[in-house]
């Protein structure tokens, strides 16, 4: 039986120093990890020497930095902000994060294409073109670094549906620009198995967490009602060959405990760390 590869996001550990993050993830038996940029450090805080040290430290724990996420410093960055100055700052920050991904040997960069709020927001068609132009710029940088930009479906007023992120990737038509899905983001808008089949061959990255589809959360696996056996089957049907990243958060829980429990549940369903 085909095994799906499982890695882990450092999200619940991201306020700790990198040594603590790496040690915890290695002790849990993970080899492929996703780190967050813009939480513990921003790209400008990590010069060439520090990036080299970070890469060597991760390797010393037997870890591969497979992907980098903006980690919602993203909450304050927006490629389609109504404010042009915010758009410029965001584009620069994201460019720096893509370079960081390449310097750390990462293959995937999680890209938030932008967010639109209920009031005083940019019109959708205009937002689409602004986001598309920015992603093309970022895609050219990523291509030179051997990094793939993963446009993320997000329930925040823009590219909320799987058909939206697929269409954006199709229009851009670059090898360095593909799509990712996050189980909790997706079920806020549509069934996850449907979304996987919709994005199909464009799907190169996955985040796994649990959610009831009503309250936005990234709960540990088994906390809500996502059918992960069905998720595994859908991924196999579209011949997904990337790493699935466990990205869960429980503010009141012990990360070591709920990460281990989530990992065990997924391994019983065909994932392998």
Mean pLDDT for 143-169 is 96
Residue 175 neighbours by CB distance under 10 Å: 9
DSSP for 226-239 reads --HHHHHHHHHHTT
* Residue owning tokens 């859908």: 234
Tens digits of per-residue pLDDT, 184-229?
999 999 999 999 999 999 999 999 999 999 999 999 999 999 999 9
| Phi, psi (rounded to 5 degrees) for 178 | -130, -155
Tens digits of per-residue pLDDT, 12-49?
999 899 999 999 999 999 999 999 998 888 899 999 99
pLDDT at residue 72, as a whole number: 59
Q: Are 192 and 183 in contact (CB under 8 A)?
A: yes
Domain holding 223, by residue range, is 4-272
Tens digits of per-residue pLDDT, 52-91?
999 999 999 999 999 999 975 555 789 999 999 999 999 9
Measure the CA–CA gap between 74 and 71, rounded to whole angstroms.
6
CA nearest to 220, candidates 182, 180, 181, 255: 255
Measure the CA–CA gap between 216 and 211, rounded to whole angstroms.
7
Lowest-confidence range among 68-72, 94-98, 134-138, 154-158?
68-72
DSSP for 160-174 reads -SHHHHHHHHHHH--
Q: What is the mean pLDDT of the chain?
A: 95
Total number of domains constituting the chain:
1
Query: The domain spanning residue 240 has which CATH number?
Result: 3.20.20.150
Q: What is the pTM of this model?
A: 0.96
Tokens of 208: 């796994």
């Amino acid at each position: 039986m085909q095994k799906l590869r499982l890695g882990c996001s450092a999200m619940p550990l991201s306020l700790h120093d990198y040594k603590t993050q790496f040690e915890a993830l290695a002790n849990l038996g993970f080899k492929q990890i996703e780190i967050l940029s813009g939480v513990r450090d921003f790209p400008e805080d990590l010069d060439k020497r520090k990036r080299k040290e970070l890469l060597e430290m991760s390797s010393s724990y037997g870890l591969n930095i497979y992907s980098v996420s903006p980690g919602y410093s993203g909450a304050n960055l927006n490629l389609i902000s109504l404010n042009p100055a915010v758009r410029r700052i965001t584009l620069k920050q994201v460019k720096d994060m893509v370079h960081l991904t390449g310097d750390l040997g990462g293959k995937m960069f999680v890209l938030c294409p932008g967010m639109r709020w209920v009031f005083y927001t940019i019109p959708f068609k205009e937002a689409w073109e602004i986001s598309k132009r920015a992603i093309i710029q970022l895609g050219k940088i990523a291509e030179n670094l051997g990094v793939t930009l993963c446009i993320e479906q997000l329930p925040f007023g823009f590219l909320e549906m799987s058909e939206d992120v697929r269409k954006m990737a199709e229009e851009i038509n670059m090898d360095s620009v593909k799509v990712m899905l996050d189980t909790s983001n997706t079920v806020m808008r549509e069934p996850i198995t449907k979304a996987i089949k919709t994005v199909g061959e464009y799907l190169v990255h996955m985040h796994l967490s649990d959610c009831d589809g009503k309250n936005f959360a990234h709960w540990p696996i088994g906390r809500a009602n996502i059918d992960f056996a069905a998720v595994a089957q859908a991924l196999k049907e579209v011949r997904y060959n990337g790493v699935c990243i466990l990205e869960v958060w429980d503010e009141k829980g012990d990360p070591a405990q709920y990460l281990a429990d989530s990992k065990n549940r997924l391994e019983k369903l065909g994932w392998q760390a």
